[in-house]
Every structure is written in structure tokens, then in C-alpha cells.
Amino acid sequence: MTKDEKIQELENELERLKVENINLNNEIAELSFLRQKSQSQALELELQNEELTSIRYELELQNEELLRSKSEIEQVLNKFNLLFNFAPVGFLLLNYDLEIVEVNKSFADIISLPTQSIINKKVDEILGMQIIELIRIYNKPKSSLDRMIIEINDKNGQKKFLRVDVRILENVFESYRNYLLSFVDITEARQFQLALKESEEKFRSIFEQTPVGIYRSTPEGRIILANPKLVSMLGYDSVDEIYNIDLESQDYPLQEGRTQFKKIMEEVGEIIASKATWYQKSGKSIIVRETAKAHRDEYGKIDYYQGVVEDITNEEFLKEQIEAIIRTIPDLLIYMDEDGTYLDLFTSNPNLLVLPKESIINKNIYEIFDKQLADYFLKSIRTSISENRVIIISYDVETPAGRRSFEANITPVKTKHSSGKRTVVTLARDISDRKQIEIDLVKSNYEKDLFFSIIGYDLREPITSLITTADIFTNYYDKLSPEQLKEYIFQLSEQIYVVKNLIDNLLDWSKSQTGKLDFNPEITDLYNLVENSLLIYKSQALSKNIILNSSIQPKTYCKCDRFMISSVIRNLLSNAMKYSFPNSSIELDIADDDQLYYISIKDHGQGIPEDKLKYIFEDNELYILGFNKRRIPGLGLHICKSFVERNNGNISVKSKVGEGTTFTFSLPKALEF
């Protein structure tokens, strides 16, 4: 290789090296740039890393805040759900179309509907158009309406009043809108308000129209409240005139004894139904019934008196008149309560009282009368009150004037006594004299009826015999022999004599009794009474072929009312004749002891059934079968029993069916003869 070639080669190499050096320098420069850039990027990365670290920290903080916010939101939601579902206030949540999307139990209870029947319904379907109008008012800009009251009828038809509050719920972008409605049932409060209003109106009406005066006055003597009745009661033209009165002024003493009034109010605090004298504007005095109470301030000092007064001037005058009238009536006027406590009584005759008046007032009937009579009074009082009617009772009591009979009208009083008990007014009249007259009249009428029945019965038998004999004369006169005519004429004469004797005896009895069956015992020969009675039935005995036998001897003296005993003998003989078999006999026997005669009348006939014997002397008509099988009324054996007992005797009966009957009665002997 030549030198030039080597030089050329070296130059080329040098040129290459230069180029490489330039390239190397460029690379070094680029590397330096890159290094610088890398350093810059590393710094930037460090800054970004620091920023990322800061952002991460912030994100962690935000995450913690979100978690905390989520917890709070959940708590708020829980509280909202609790409030929504269990609050005593009814809630409805409506969407934009006013459909119900949520409802709580309280609202369902208010309108008495189940929750499921409310969800998804239009709110006006449940509450009517009034709620729509309310929501529209809320939607108006700058609406100042806070709440209103609506009236609805629940499922049961009961009217209710609800206070409604509306809240609009929107998101921040106002992309949707809900309505939260709250309801409070104010029915009771509304009713209370209405009742309070009504009560106030009633109070105002009562205050202005009440027939009694109402006042409020101060201890200093000024009237600060008065109703129209008080104004008119005192004769003034306006309430202003009343307010100008000075009760403490000596020139116009409205209340007599005001000093005493103030003393009582200070010590007791009230007066109840106290009578007082007030003065009208004209100076005329009136009597009032006053009830008042002292009102005290917080320190116990009386700041005013409040009371009602009633003008009882006419009432007091009427009461005096009534008391004057009551003092003149002879009856008892008794005022007592439902428990039988005497509250007051009036009478002009103190002898009608079982005790002095002052010993009766405020006493109970059980403290005055025996239990049986007190029970009777109390039952009558309570019956009168419970049935609201007049009860009439009769009773006997011992009084200073002796035992007296009373008839009382018990009348219930409508108004209650101040004790709260019902009361009655009893008007008791002494009917002792009237009762005795009534008893005597009944007895007289009974004895008259009895007397005339005896006369009719005693005359019936002999007159029947006369008619029978007269019929024989009429029908068979031309067929009778002289001996038969003589016999019938004798019988007729005998029967006429018997009738005349009986009529004379009955007339004598009638005259002696003057319409009464008085008891007139005298010494009587029993033999004569028996023989006279046998003569009456002699003809009847012959017609039945019955033999009349008597073992009673003359001078059998007893002490009796001969008219009564004659009636007894005739009655018993008549019964014996009726119920004796034909062709039998009737025996009259007598026995005695130291004090009594025992007269028995025995027949032989049908007899009396045993089950009728115990009723035979009762005051009724006894029916037994006679021998001809006809039902014949008895002759009033009660009369015989009564007459025998009035003559201090007894009567008895023995009988056997098919054999006959024996009546036995006793009479006292005439021992002093």
C-alpha cells in the first residue's frame, strides 16, 4: 500500500473519525439532552407521584366522608322510616301525578282504611277535591299558606277534621317533584272548640237571660259585674248605674248587714242559700236568697266576691200564707226523704202526732215506729218515688188521743232535696170516726140483711103449710067428709095461730132491735121455745109421716136471747125435715152439766158427706142431696153458729151418710133463777 494510499486511507479514517466524533458529540449532546429531559421527567414524575399521593389521600378522606355520610344517611332514613311509619301523625307521599306512593299506618287508621287499599290511588279518590285545591295553592309561587283544615268522612261515615301540612320535595336539578302531606286528627280538639264555643254562648245566654241575679263585687264595695236580671231586680235602668253604686256608703246601704257578710266570707269563704234584705233604687226592700263565694289572689287576699241572688219576696209572702193555711187544717202534712227521714211536718192538731214535733224532725221512721209499720211506710215511699205516682195507705198508731186510724196520700216531689235525695209529701188524715161509722154501717147492713133473711125463712114454712091446706080445701072440699073437714079446719086454725104467733114474735124482735141484732139475753124456758118451733113443722111432718119427739121438759130454764135461739131451733128443725127419710123420726134431746145445757136435734136421713162437714158452718150456701135427689140449698148454718156463740154456747155436728145427722148446741143455764 502506498503512502498516499495510506495517507488517503488515514484521511478517510480521520474523516470518518471526525464524522463519528461529530456523531458522538451529537449523541453525547442528545444523551445530555435526554439526561436532562429524563431528570426533568423524573422530577415531574416525582411531582406527579406526590400529587397522586395527595390525591389518593384526598380520595381516602372523601371515601371516609362518603362512608360516614352513607351511615348518616342510613340513620336519617331509619329515623325517617320510623317517623313515617310510627309517628302519631298521618303521612302521604305523592308523586308528581298526585298518586299515593307511600302511606303510613297512622293515616290508614285516621280514615279507617287498610294501607294496601290506599297505595297507587289518586289522592282525590281518598280525600276529595279539597286536597287537590290545597296542593295547587302550595304550587303557586310565594304562597304564604302554611296549613289548612279539611273535613272528611271515614269508612264508618264518621265526620273527622284533619289539619294538613304540605311539603314539596325536589332534587337539586328540579328534575322531579314529590309531595309529602302530613295529617293530624283534630276532631276531638275541634269538637272541644265547638263545645267551648257553644258553652261560651250558653254561658252568655245564661248570664243574660237567667232568672236570677249574678254579681261580682269587691271588698271595697264596688260592683264590677252584673247581669241584666240583677239590674232589673234592683230597679235600675242600665248596668252602668249598678257599677256606680258604693255598697260601703252609708247613704245607700244595698245590703243590710254587709259587715256580717264580709266577716262570714273572710272566715268561711262562702255562704249558701242565705236570706238577706236588699234595697232597690226606689228604696223599697226585697228579700233575696243569696249564694256567694270569695275569690282570693295568689297571696290569699280576697280580691272579689262572686254570687247569685234570687228575689224571693213573693215566695216568702206565699210561704207565710201557706203556713197560715196549714196551721188551720186538721190533717198532718209531712215532708220526708226517700229513706224515711222526717224533714218537716205541719198540723194544727198536735194530738195527732205520736211524739212532739221537735222529737220527730230529722228522725227516721225506724226510730219512731215498730219495724213492721216502718217497713210498710218505707216501701210505700219508695214505690211512690220509683213509679212517680200517688200511693194511698191506711194505718193505725197510738197517739196522745188514743189509738187512731189514718189514711195517707204519699206524693213524690220531682225536685231533689239539698242532700241529693228524692222526697215525698204525705197528707195524713185522721179517719178514726169515719172508719167506725163505716164499720157500724157495714155491720148494720149485714145484720139487717141477716134479719130479713131470717124473717123470710121463718115465714116460708108455715105459709107453705097454709097454702097446702088451702089448696086441699079448694080442690077437694066437696069430696071431704065432715070428719076430714073438721080435721083440716083444725089444722088450718093451728097453722094460722102458728103464723100469727111467729109474726108477732118477729115484729116484737124487729121493734126491740130497731134494725140491729143486739144481744138481749134473758131467762127463758127452753121447753116453750122447742114446742113453739115443733108446732110450725107439725103439718110438714105429717105429710112425710115423720114423728117429732122431744125429751125437753117444762121449766128447763136457760139464759139466752130467745129470738135468736128460736131461730136456731127452727133452722135445725127445717134442715132435719128436709133431709129426713119419709116414715122416719126427728128426736130433740137434752143433756146438761153444772153450767150448760146440750140440746141435740137428730134426724134419720141422707146424711152429710165427710168432706163437707168441715165447711158446713162457713158463710156460704151448702148443697146436699135430699131424699128426693134434688139439689137443695142449705139454710145458712153459719147464722146458727153465730147466734149460738153470741149466746155463749157452741155448736157441732155429727153425720153418717145413709143414716142421718145430729146437730148439738149448748146454752148456759139460768143459775140465778
pLDDT bin (cut points 50, 70, 90) of residue 338 is very high
Nearest one of 123, 186, 134, 119 to 159, comparing CA atoms = 186
- More confident site: 549 or 436: 549
454, with CB counted inside 10 A (0-12, 13-18, 19+), is buried
Whether residues 275 and 336 fall in one domain:
no
DSSP string across 315-346: HHHHHHHHHHHHHH-SSEEEEEETT-BEEEEE
3-state secondary structure of 168: strand
Residue 39 vs residue 419, higher pLDDT:
419
Is the pLDDT assigned to residue 301 strictly greater than 70?
A: yes
Cα gap 27→20, rounded to integer Å: 10
Q: How far apart are CA 106 and CA 298, in angstroms?
A: 44
- Domain total of the chain: 4
Residues 556 and 622 in one domain: yes
Q: Could you tell me the residue range of the domain that residue 160 belongs to?
A: 89-192
My answer on whether 289 and 256 are in the same domain is: yes
Q: Same domain for 456 and 581?
A: yes
Per-residue pLDDT at 620: 42
Q: Which of 192, 227, 249 is the last residue of a domain?
A: 192
Q: What pLDDT is recorded for position 291? A: 92
Q: Is 10 a domain residue?
A: no
CATH number of the domain that 486 lies in?
Answer: 3.30.565.10
Q: How far is CA 55 from CA 49, 50, 51, 499, in A?
A: 9, 8, 6, 161
6 three-class SS: helix
Question: Does any domain span residue 495?
Answer: yes
Residues 384 and 464 in one domain: no
Q: Which of 430, 463, 483 delimits the end of a domain?
A: 430
Q: 138 and 221: one domain?
A: no
How far, in Å, CA of 178 to CA of 62, rounded?
30
Q: Residues 218, 278: one domain? A: yes
Q: Please check whether residues 257 and 185 belong to one and the same domain.
A: no
Asked whether residue 569 is assigned to any structural domain, the reply reads: yes
What percent of the chain is modeled with pLDDT above 70? 85
For residue 69, is it within any domain?
no
Residues 401 and 454 in one domain: no
Based on the fold, state whether residues 221 and 188 are members of the same structural domain: no
* CATH code at position 133: 3.30.450.20
- CA-closest candidate to residue 599, choices 572, 625, 618: 572
Is residue 626 within 8 Å of 606, Cβ to Cβ?
A: yes
What average pLDDT does range 336-343 have in this prediction?
A: 92
Per-residue pLDDT tens digits for 304-336: 999 999 988 888 888 787 777 766 777 888 899
* Contact partners, residue 92, CB within 8 Å, separation at least 6: 100, 102, 103, 107, 123, 179, 180, 181, 183
Lowest mean pLDDT among 17-26, 544-553, 656-665: 17-26
In a domain, 359, yes or no: yes
Residues 6+ apart with CB under 8 A from 479: none
DSSP type of residue 70:
H
Average pLDDT of the chain is 81
**34-56 residue pLDDT tens:** 777 777 777 777 777 777 787 77
Query: What's the confidence (pLDDT) of residue 175?
Result: 57
> Quick one: cell of 457?
125463712
Which range is most confident: 52-56, 76-80, 129-133, 523-527?
A: 523-527
Range name among 220-224, 301-305, 486-490 with the lowest pLDDT average: 486-490
First and final C-alpha spacing in the chain: 231
Q: What confidence tier does 666 reach under pLDDT thresholds 50, 70, 90? A: very high
* Whether residues 486 and 406 fall in one domain: no
With contact defined as beta carbons under 8 Å apart, do 604 and 584 qualify?
A: yes
User: Quick one: which of 568, 574, 591, 588 has its CA closest to 632?
Assistant: 574
The mean pLDDT value for 251-278 works out to: 80
| Cα→Cα distances 573→48, 303, 540, Å | 162, 104, 11
Mean pLDDT of 646-658: 93
Q: How sure is the predictor about 366, in pLDDT bands with cuts at 50, 70 and 90?
A: very high
The per-residue pLDDT for 652 is 93
* pLDDT tens-digit series, residues 523-568: 999 999 999 888 888 877 887 889 999 999 999 999 999 888 988 8
pLDDT band at 624 (very low <50, low <70, confident <90, very high): very low
In a domain, 577, yes or no: yes
What pLDDT does 626 receive? 36
A 10 A CB-CB count for 71 gives 10
